[in-house]
Chain A
Amino acid sequence: MKTSYLANKFIPVSTIVILIGIFWYLVAVPMNSDKVSRQFKNLPTGEHILKCWSLKKPKLPTPHQIITEMVNTIFFKKISSKRSLVYHGWITLQATLAGFFLGTLLGILLALGIVHNKAMDLSVMPWVIASQTIPILAIAPMIIVVMNSVGVTGLLPKAIISMYLSFFPVVVGMVKGLRSPDQIQLDQMKTWSASSNQILWYLRFPSSLPFLFASLKVGVAASLVGAIVGELPSGAIAGLGARMLAGTYYGQTIMIWSALFAAAFIAAFLVFTIDFLQKITLKKMAIIR
């Protein structure tokens, strides 16, 4: 068991991480070389390369610079400080979770409508799909501005943008899931003269859970993207999106990259959490063993 974990997970994953790392350090040299040449004349090659990896405002920061910045801003700043990555991450995470909750709710409600109502089945799905063809970057500022003008600011507008991105996979997955029982199971319910609420509760909903969890994993990642996008155009001063924007204003590439990594870690954490919930739920339901 232990060796198979090593062989199947640890070794392949760490090999790729090491390869990416090597590639990263190699690319950082030509990317930052110009800047080093301008600041320091006639350095020996070895020192020139080391300088490429340790500039203050490099075009491409190296992994160790990003890690150092992250360790500093996560562990050595008060979490209430504007310089703390934990503070910004928490702001974004709140909007993400609120938007994810709203999006999941909206997605499930729409799916229930589509499955139970013929008119909704024919009319809603095209709009759901159309909603996702509009670039979120175009619609996000409008949502922020409109909600701002009616006095709604802070978390809610960001959560709405998150919801806009995350309800889609939930609708698609849940419609498929609620329709997954086969004809025999539906006929069987009919022979027991079950009401459509009973069919939903005893058959359709449990059958849809594997589909729901798959959708939630996509949805939660989309929620995070939505929250960050919501922080970009709003002149927000807090959140990972605001942190990235501030970084671009001041050429603080290391700051941008560490916010980016923080976002990636949060996304991974959220997806793994749902994966874990999925495993225990489906195991408990004996759908997987």
Chain B
Amino acid sequence: MISVSDVNLTFETNDGPVNALRSVSLEVNEGDFVSFIGPSGCGKTTLLRVIAALETPTDGKVIVNNMTPDEARKAREYGYVFQAAGLYPWRTVSGNIKLPLEIMGYSASEKEDRTRKVIDLVELKGFEKKFPWQLSGGMQQRASIARALAFDANILLMDEPFGALDEIVRDRLNGELLNLWGRTDKTICFVTHSIPEAVFLSTKIVVMSPRPGRITDVIESPLPKNRDLNIRDSQEFIKIAQRVREGLKAGQTEDVF
């Protein structure tokens, strides 16, 4: 589905070159829920942007749905959810969800159908005619997810979508996201800096370290696909969280030198 092999990315900055990604290799299979976790500067967002063709790697090979990332972008193979909801203030919730559909030239009836479907999916029914400022932060982010789902790409890339929300809302949205993932058969790549979030959501956890940005551990989660929030108290969950924490720590000690 997504294959990243030996990717390097160096940004030229005023303070000299910055190694954002070094020798990053990764396989994401269809239906996976993959989390990228690591401290800031570890390249997790950059990796997601490389997959989305928003950044071009210095060298290495990336394949998305048997295409180059840029071909995949043009073929609208993925939906991308940004850190900020980025809703257009002059459009209602349904207007915002229709925006990518308008750009992609869907027919009017198709737009209506798809909008209704994804509004149901993210549980925003009754809020179609509201403007973004009338919604809470959590609801705005749900609308933003609905917008990324509207054109039914089979890959969903999410860059810390719940980072700005409080923990209670975040827990609820995490539950809803898992539910949504279970009902559709999307492949999800999810950037986060929260260990419980990563462990709770993922089938595969990619632990990353900064300077240079690299992968230090890839954990295949043994947790069942159907899970609820209570699983966070189970032995298995705690064990995976520990391994993630150790992976993060290992990256840090190397950093001292």
A residues sitting closer than 8 Å to B (CB atoms) are 184-185, 187-194, 198, 202-203, 206, 285-287, 289
Contacts and interface: CB of A to CB of B under 8 A. Distances in A.
B47 interface: no
Interface in B54-81: 54, 73-74, 76, 78-80
B103 interface: yes
Contacts of B104: 192-193
Given A188-B80, A191-B52, A286 B133 contact: yes
Given A184-B84, A287-B90, A191 B78 contact: yes
A146 B69 CA distance: 58
B86 A185 contact: yes
Contacts of B78: 191
Given A202-B99, A286-B131, A286-B133, A191 B88 contact: no
B82 A287 contact: no
B54 A190 contact: yes
* Centre residue among A187, A191, A193 by max chain B CB count within 10 A: A191
A192 B89 contact: no
B73 A286 contact: no
B90 A191 contact: no
B25 to A, nearest CB: 24
Given A192-B104, A193-B104, 12 more contacts: A184-B83, A190-B73, A191-B52, A191-B78, A192-B100, A192-B103, A192-B151, A193-B73, A194-B103, A285-B90, A286-B90, A286-B133
A139 B54 CA distance: 49
A202 B96 CA distance: 11
Contacts of B86: 184-185, 188
A287 B90 CA distance: 6
**Chain B interface residue bracket vs A:** 20 to 34
Contacts of B52: 191
B115 to A, nearest CB: 15
A268 B35 CA distance: 59
Contacts of A188: 80, 82, 86
A191 B73 contact: yes
B88 A206 contact: yes
Interface of B: 52, 54, 73-74, 76, 78-80, 82-84, 86, 88-90, 99-100, 102-104, 131, 133, 151
Contacts of B84: 184
A286 to B, nearest CB: 5
Contacts of B133: 286, 289
B108 to A, nearest CB: 17
Nearest to A206: B90
Contacts of B89: 285-287
Q: List 6 tightest A-B contacts by C-beta distance, closest first.
A: A285-B90, A191-B80, A286-B131, A192-B100, A194-B103, A193-B74
Contacts of A285: 89-90
B76 A193 contact: yes
A66 B64 CA distance: 77
Nearest to B99: A202
A192 B131 contact: no
A289 B52 CA distance: 36
B143 to A, nearest CB: 13
A178 B28 CA distance: 39
B54 A191 contact: yes
Contacts of A203: 88
A188 B90 CA distance: 17
Nearest to B75: A193
A189 to B, nearest CB: 8
A285 B89 CA distance: 8
Contacts of A185: 86
Contacts of B88: 202-203, 206
